[in-house]
Amino acid sequence: TRVYQTADGPVRALGGVSLDVTAGEFVAVRGPSGCGKSTLLTIVGGLGMPTSGHVVVGGEDLVAMGPAARARFRAERVGFVFQMFHLLPYLTVLENVVAAALPGTRASARQRGRELLERFQLSDRLRHRPAELSTGERQRVAIARALINRTRLILADEPTGNLDAESSEAVLQILAGFQRDGGTVLLVTHQEQAAAYAGRPVLLRDGLLQSNETGGPTAPAGTSTGPA
Ligand code: ADP
Ligand code: MG
Q: Which of 206, 191, 115 shows the shortest CA–CA distance to 156?
A: 191
Q: Give the pLDDT score at 214.
A: 46
51-79 tens-digit pLDDT: 999 999 999 999 999 999 999 999 999 99
- For the entire predicted model, the pTM comes to 0.91
Q: Which of 89, 84, 101 shows the shortest CA–CA distance to 145?
A: 101
The ligand 1 atom nearest the CA atom of 5? 25
Q: Give the pLDDT score at 208.
A: 96
134-179 tens-digit pLDDT: 999 999 999 999 999 999 999 999 999 999 999 999 999 999 999 9
91-148 tens-digit pLDDT: 999 999 999 999 999 889 999 999 999 999 999 999 999 999 999 999 999 999 999 9
Q: Give the pLDDT score at 107.
A: 84
Q: Which of 173, 157, 206 shows the shortest CA–CA distance to 13?
A: 206
Q: Give the pLDDT score at 67.
A: 94
Q: How far apart are CA 84 and CA 60, in angstroms?
A: 29
Q: Give the pLDDT score at 220.
A: 44
The ligand 1 atom nearest the CA atom of 31? 3
Ligand 1 site residues (CB inside 6 A) read 4, 6, 11, 13, 31, 33-39
Q: Confidence band (pLDDT; 50, 70, 90) for 227?
A: low
Q: Whose CA is closest to atom 5 on ligand 1?
A: 36
What is the Cβ-side half-sphere exposure of residue 149, based on CA atoms within 13 angstroms?
A: 19
What's the gap in Å between 187 CA and the centre of ligand 1?
17
What's the gap in Å between 106 CA and the centre of ligand 1?
35
Q: How far apart are CA 8 and CA 199, in angstroms?
A: 39
Beta bridge partners of 153: 78, 184
Q: Give the pLDDT score at 216.
A: 43
The ligand 1 atom nearest the CA atom of 6? 25
Q: How far apart are CA 152 and CA 178, in angstroms?
A: 9
With a CB cutoff of 8 Å and minimum separation 6, the contacts of 64 are: none
Q: Give the pLDDT score at 188.
A: 96
Best of 2, 3, 11 for a ligand 1 pocket test (most atoms within 8 Å of beta carbon): 11
Q: Is the pLDDT of residue 222 over 50?
A: no
Q: Give the pLDDT score at 194.
A: 86
Q: At what angle do helices 165-180 and 135-147 cross, to 10 degrees?
A: 20
Residue 162 DSSP one-character state: T
What's the gap in Å between 191 CA and the centre of ligand 2?
13
With a CB cutoff of 8 Å and minimum separation 6, the contacts of 7 are: none
What integer is the mean pLDDT of 11-27?
97
Q: Is the pLDDT of residue 213 over 70?
A: no
Report H helices in the chain: 37-44, 67-77, 93-98, 106-119, 135-147, 165-180, 192-195
Q: Give the pLDDT score at 215.
A: 44
What's the gap in Å between 182 CA and the centre of ligand 1?
31
**Torsion of the alpha carbons at 170, 173, 175 and 181, rounded to the nearest 10:** -140
